[in-house]
Amino acid sequence: MLSAIGDVALGDDGKPSLHIHTVLGLSDGTTRGGHLLEAIVQPTLEMTLVEAPGHLRRSRRPELGVALIDLDE
């Protein structure tokens, strides 16, 4: 993993929801980037989490088909 940035927000169900964008380095020296959907880490991965000054909440927007952070919460 070369880079990872995202957020942890509460979903409509009240559970934490991850949204992470990442860049991964491949063994041939190329990279791939996009949304991190799942991962297996071997042997370790160090990450630093920084707490935001406010709590984030993600609400489902049926008209868009996605869940977005609700800035009014």
pLDDT reported for residue 55: 79
Domain boundaries, the chain: 3-69
pTM (two decimals): 0.70
Please check the confidence at residue 71 and state whether its pLDDT lies above 90. no
Q: Rounded to an integer, what distance in angstroms lies between the CA atom of residue 13 and that of residue 59?
A: 9
Please check the confidence at residue 73 and state whether its pLDDT lies above 70. no
pLDDT reported for residue 57: 85
Fold exhibited by the domain 3-69:
60s Ribosomal Protein L30; Chain: A; (3.30.1330)
Residue 59: CB atoms within 10 A of its CB come to 14
27-62 tens-digit pLDDT: 999 999 999 999 999 899 998 988 877 778 888 889
**Strand partners for 34:** 22
